[in-house]
Structure 1
Amino acid sequence: MTRGVIPFPPFSPAVLGHEPAGEVVAVGPGVTNRRVGDRVGVPWIQGTCGHCDHCARNLPLSGLAAIRCAAPAMTGITVPGGQAEYLVARASGTVPLPDGLSFSDAAPTLCAGYTAWCAFRKADPRPFERVAVLGIGALGHFAVQFAATSGFETVAITRSDDKRELARELGASLVVGNGEELAAAGGADVIVATGSSNAAAADSMRGLRPGGRIVLAGMDPLEPFALPPDVSGLFFALDQKVLGVTHEDPRQLAEALEIVASGRVRPMVELFTAEQVADAAARVAKGEVRFTAVVSY
């Protein structure tokens, strides 16, 4: 929103926050799929208009609706978000939380974890393939853990010295700084690009093996994505694929939540009180939070 990519909410007061999790305290007339006391999360996309060409295709509720639906219900963007003590949400747009999963761990999984898991699933790594994750941040720390806990040899790509040891703690067996170093280390069959630098994503393809796939899970929408000449010249001959990903399917969100609830993947969060919202926003803007700021009301 601060860069003008996402529109500011059209309602007043504007209530932001798109990863809310909490307990149902009331249900509207006719609601049968949720009850008072249920523990639920509210994803980014709560619903669609039901009348446009996108809705006529009867696709699963996904991030694609944010782009293609004529009037999507987007939490914190087109409908009020979760930075409040109470939130009115569409019952059909909520997801039940597994037993034992805390609200503070559920919240980042509803977006960053969901995206990272969808990227991993979209890449469809096969047995004995090597998975590389570019960027160790809100999405990347999930992606490294998802790949490692699924049994794949996992490589982390980061230029940040302070994140190298963290990447190993998360499950990476090898840490490199860029695509050239990845290639020197034998390359990877899958690259999950989670950072905001399109140039770094393109550079990482120098280490992509023949037949490999790079999934762009995090991009800067205001920056061009251009392959370096030494990559673009061989890209087609090497049968490599560039894939995009968003929130793909509620079933994949359920999978991500179950994995986190099992303890095999642990979100890294910093907790803030409602009175600390301004401080949380400022620290996020400066990149000082590891890796998701969660506000408790």
Structure 2
Amino acid sequence: MSTTESPKRDKWQWETATAGAAAGFATVAVMHPLDVVRTRFQVNDGRVSHLPRYNNTAHAIFSIARSEGLRGLYAGFLPGVLGSTISWGLYFFFYDKAKQRYARNREEKLTPGLHLASAAEAGAIVSLCTNPVWLVKTRLQLQTPLHQTRPYSGLYDAFKTIMKEEGFSAFYRGIVPSLFLVSHGAIQFTAYEELRNIFVDLKSRGSTVHRENPDQLLNSVDYAVLGASSKIAAILLSYPFQVIRSRLQQRPGGDGVPRYIDSWHVVKETARFEGVRGFYKGITPNLLKNAPASSITFIVYENVLKLLKLARKE
């Protein structure tokens, strides 16, 4: 590799990170209320007293808006924005870097297995970096007027209080299901890449545009369909890990004892009292949030990437 190629590659990686961060911010800003509803459904096992009962997604949104106002619908918004922006930025950065590494000395395109390995590698790194932020977001979303313990006043107060009351290790509650959730990103990005190749193949037939320049073949509608389709596949296969993580990340009661000890304890208790259905609680608002959110993410990502490429050429 020449010395001129290395700076170009590094610049490209930062462009993908910037596009990913912009996509993550746009996604959270639009879809956060559904994220609050999903989290509350996920942890409501029918045996907790500090969470209101909601009949369905619409009832939950109207109930939260009526009793808690806009602040309730956007509980945990700051860590949500922070976590999502950092996560998407790092994810696209490490995903692209892994693909480049696997692509060295390969004349043909990457196989689905290598796309999967790239996405899994990126997801594991991101999980380790962002778990504390997601834990704080979950706890802020679960604060309701029925809460018995002193509520966190915000992001900083939550970090400070958790460190004081539970210690640093508390920030990594739920890390095991988070690492299993790497499969979510791996499934999504592998599906996205493979579907994208199919779209390019279909659109390149009879087109004067060379298929090696797919940016000119695909548009925002294509990116929306690709993003939503790949996200739905990933959700259906990995959703139980999200439920396990949310239940582990709940704030301990007044006695300081966590509701669940570890991931296996969540699995046993959920299966015992709720059955298989318990592992899919909140999946409706999750699909409503993430299918269109993934469309927004990839529309923003691909279009920001196009703009950055144009700017680089100029």
Answer 1 or 2: which has greater strand percent.
Answer: 1
* Short-chain TM bin: under 0.3
Which structure has the greater CA radius of gyration? 2
Give the structure, 1 or 2, with the largest relative contact order (CA under 8 Å, sep 6 or more): 2
